[in-house]
Amino acid sequence: MWEDNELKGVEFIPEPTDSRILSATDPNTIGHQEGWRSEVLGWDPEPVPVISRQRRNSQRIANTGILVLIVIIFWAVSQYLLIDLPPPTSEWAFEEVGARDLQDSGLTGSDVRVCMVDTGIDTTHPDLAGVDLVFKDFISGSSGPVDYGLLAHGTMMAGILVADGYLQGVAPRVTLGMAAALGEDGSGGNSGDEQLVANAIEWCWRTFEADIISLSLGGESDPEAEREGPTTNAVRLALANGVYVVAAAGNDGGVSDDGRVSTPSNVAEVISVAALERDGTVWSGSSIGAPVDSSGDERVSPHLKPEISAPGVGIISTAKGGEYYSSTGTSDATVFVSGILALILEAEPNLKDNPSLECITQVKEALMVSAESLEADIEHDSQWGYGSIDGSDWLDEIRLANIC
């Protein structure tokens, strides 16, 4: 058990779909938008300790500053109290993005290389045991996979993509590159040296030879900066070499939103991803995008920010020790989009075999056209983008346009 003072100021809210799951949330965050800005940069949620029933078998029972990027997932963490196995899933989210429809057509992500820059990965989880993994440690140089994060952020993001067990990820047969460049910062978050993150992004495309780089991280962009930071530069190089980059829009939505998506999702050709609630409405914490870029120039389609929305609230995924956690944020939504894109690249290999910045733009145009608007007669919204993602419609639009 835990001491009462360890949970001081934390509220436990039962999930509406299953009262056995409790989300630990700071009352100053979601629903209390005053002060959200500071929470993005330093919210310290208390995890709910796991008190699970005895298992019968082991089968499956920031440019943000000068040096630091903050992971965009200061989430309301959930674990399971007195849980009756098996735990619930977020199958609704996979259905919503069209992942299951694409999988039913035989797509798994095979022959596609997806790279994540995150806190690492814990491959001891049974749902991740069979992952085709290339691991690179930018923190301590370990030879084997490890997760340095607060509550295994990287392991959770990896599970959404490649879990193949009790949970089924979006694209379980991709080759996953995991670059561990972020770690627990001692104040309730995950962060990393910006140059280290930039080095990891470069490793993704230059050494790992990624087709897609999925970035569930980001930082506060500085409109007064005279030059771009190393992370933005690394992303631009990846794009110039024909690598698709998908990044989280950020979690500072609400009255204190600075009006800009996080960097590097603010780079024009990057696919910036907002988060949706289960009912299809935009999550209140999802960041708002500005109509102009960092140079003050008007953004044009298909690069208005954010570009697309995907489920990002109460997403259950893999965690350390074979457990399953629930998280909320644009980090989760980002992985859904990266996974759908991986399935599309498998279906249309010409999109990755002849990569170019022009091809990336064409793929984004198809994404824009295929997106399902959250409100009639609105082409683009500064918080939910062109609309919610539909994987089958995106693929159909790509084939119809005969691009790349």
The residues carrying an active-site annotation are 118, 153, 331
Dist. CA 197–CA 103, nearest whole Å: 32
HSE (side-chain half, CA atoms, 13 Å) at 274? 34
The identity of residue 15, as a single letter, is E
- For residue 336, count CB atoms less than 10 angstroms from its CB and return exposed for 0-12, middle for 13-18, buried for 19 or more: buried
Pair 135, 199: CB distance under 8 Å: no
Long-range CB pairs of 133-137 (<8 Å, 24+ gap) are 133/175, 133/176, 133/177, 133/178, 134/175, 134/176, 134/177, 134/178, 134/208, 135/177, 135/178, 135/180, 136/177, 136/178, 136/179, 136/180, 136/200, 136/203, 136/207, 136/208, 137/180
Tokens 């690179």 identify what position?
A: 136
Give Cβ neighbours of residue 119 (< 8 Å, ≥ 6 apart).
71, 147, 148, 149, 150, 152, 153, 154, 155, 180, 182, 183, 184, 190
- Identify the H or E element spanning 237: helix 230-240
Backbone angles phi, psi at 60, to 5 degrees: -150, 30
Token code pair at residue 170: 């979006």
- Identify the H or E element spanning 75: none
Dist. CA 359–CA 343, nearest whole Å: 17
Long-range CB pairs of 353-358 (<8 Å, 24+ gap) are 354/242, 354/404, 355/211, 355/241, 355/242, 355/243, 356/242, 356/404, 357/239, 357/240, 357/242, 357/269
Dist. CA 22–CA 80, nearest whole Å: 7
